[in-house]
């Protein structure tokens, strides 16, 4: 018994010790960090490299808006020194999770410094109110009911990563966050950031060229849900995704009819589907209007390892190429 107790005591002492010693002195030990979703996770991984042990809460193909934290996620958060989040009310569940897990590390909001796009007011206020109500009052019980409630209301569009300019801000915030938590490796984080930024800039000039080549009458894009506001702003495109379209439980005949009318009127030639939404509706709309399905766009999550958008940069390139192929022809 005595020996067991002494083992226990020393284990406790060791655990206490490991909490009291600043992480920086454990340079060989990767610091535990958590990123909320796959796109942000990819960026953090790029900049943190081998010095971090990254846990991504919402993995590839997952929908962050309706994510329901598991006990495992709470444990990751509790053990993490750093928590990377998108912000702009994208992760509505995070605050409760961090509180429940008594997270005491530093939170890095990746969109700090981004100039956010305000949600445009839609004509039918009923829907806005309804979506907002779902999000705020029933999120716990019925999180699943409002598939993309975050898109339909709120102050700002959270999908800031859809613009490469914003990705630079993300990279800066991530590098600064890591450097602050782990000063010993700060220079390495900034080196990784510089390499990442160089790739972003190179990709940006490619995409700029692709988008500039699109004819003026082919700049309207129809997607299942409203996630490309920043991309649209950067390249002067119009993305149409009628409200309610994102959520099967809220879809109304009026929304579908309005979209079909618009596609006919503007002779839009291609509509797009997304990886995280139900696409039967888009297929029916394509069928009815004679538009083609232009391809799959990735908005809120990366694809799996083998997919065409397994990293952030691949995702941006894939989306731009898909758009340019379908609209430019």
Q: Using CB under 8 A, which of 287, 304, 325, 328 touches another protein?
A: 287
Interaction residues for another protein, span 87-126 (CB under 8 A): 124, 126
Task: Give the range of 11-19, 60-68, 182-190, 312-320 binding another protein by CB under 8 A.
Answer: 60-68
Take residue 238 and report the two structure tokens written for it: 């119009």
Q: 309 in helix, strand or coil? A: coil
How many residues touch another protein under the rule CB under 8 A: the total is 36
Q: 36 in helix, strand or coil? A: strand
CA angle 142, 147, 152 (to 5 degrees): 110
61 scored as a contact of another protein (CB under 8 A): yes
Cα–Cα distance for residue pair 276/60, rounded to 1 Å: 10
User: CB 123 → another protein: shortest distance, Å?
Assistant: 9
Q: Using CB under 8 A, which of 172, 191, 252, 321 touches another protein?
A: 252
152 scored as a contact of another protein (CB under 8 A): no
HSE value, Cβ hemisphere, 13 Å, CA-based, for 97: 25
69 scored as a contact of another protein (CB under 8 A): no
66 scored as a contact of another protein (CB under 8 A): yes
Take residue 152 and report the two structure tokens written for it: 């339909």
User: CB 285 → another protein: shortest distance, Å?
Assistant: 8
Q: What are phi and psi of 303, to 5 degrees?
A: -85, 175
Convert 85-109 to b/e letters by CB count within 10 Å (16 or more is b): bbbbbbbbbbeebbeebebebebbe
User: CB 94 → another protein: shortest distance, Å?
Assistant: 17
In this structure, are strands 52-58 and 106-109 parallel, antiparallel, or unpaired? unpaired
Task: Mark residues 187-226: x for contact with another protein by CB under 8 A, - for none.
Answer: ----------------------------------------
Q: Using CB under 8 A, which of 62, 132, 295, 308 touches another protein?
A: 62
Cα–Cα distance for residue pair 318/72, rounded to 1 Å: 32
68 scored as a contact of another protein (CB under 8 A): yes
User: CB 67 → another protein: shortest distance, Å?
Assistant: 8
**Sheet of 292-297, strands arranged across:** 238-240, 220-222, 270-274, 292-297
171 scored as a contact of another protein (CB under 8 A): no
Instruction: Give the interface with another protein as residue ranges (CB under 8 A).
Output: 61-63, 66, 68, 124, 126-127, 143-145, 147, 244, 247-257, 260, 276-281, 283-285, 287-288
């Amino acid at each position: 018994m005595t020996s067991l107790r002494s083992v226990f005591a020393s284990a406790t002492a060791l655990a206490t010790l490991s909490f009291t010693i600043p992480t920086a002195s454990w340079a060989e030990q990767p610091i535990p960090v958590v990123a909320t979703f796959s796109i942000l996770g990819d960026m953090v991984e790029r900049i943190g490299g081998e010095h971090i042990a990254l846990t991504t809460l919402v993995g590839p193909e997952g929908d962050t808006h309706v994510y329901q934290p598991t006990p495992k996620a709470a444990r990751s958060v509790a053990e993490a020194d750093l928590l990377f989040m998108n912000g702009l009310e994208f992760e509505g569940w995070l605050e409760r999770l961090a509180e429940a897990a008594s997270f005491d590390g530093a939170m890095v909001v990746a969109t700090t410094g981004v100039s956010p796009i305000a949600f445009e007011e839609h004509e039918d206020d009923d829907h806005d109110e309804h979506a907002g109500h779902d999000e705020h009052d029933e999120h716990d019980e019925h999180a699943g009911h409002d598939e993309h409630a975050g898109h339909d209301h709120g102050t700002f569009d959270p999908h800031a990563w859809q613009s490469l300019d914003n990705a630079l801000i993300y990279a800066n915030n991530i590098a600064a966050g890591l450097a602050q938590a782990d000063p010993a490796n700060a220079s390495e984080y900034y080196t990784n950031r510089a390499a990442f930024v160089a790739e972003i800039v190179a990709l940006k000039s490619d995409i700029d060229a692709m988008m500039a080549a699109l004819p003026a009458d082919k700049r309207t894009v129809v997607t299942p849900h409203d996630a490309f506001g920043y991309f649209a702003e950067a390249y002067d495109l119009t993305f149409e995704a009628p409200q309610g379209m994102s959520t099967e439980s809220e879809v109304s005949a009026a929304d579908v009819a309005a979209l079909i009318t618009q596609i006919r009127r503007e002779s839009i030639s291609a509509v797009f589907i997304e990886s995280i939404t139900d696409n039967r509706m888009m297929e029916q709309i394509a069928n009815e209007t004679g538009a083609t399905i232009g391809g799959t766009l990735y908005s809120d999550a990366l694809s799996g390892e083998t997919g065409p958008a397994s990293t952030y940069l691949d995702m941006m390139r894939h989306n731009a190429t898909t758009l340019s192929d379908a609209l430019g022809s």
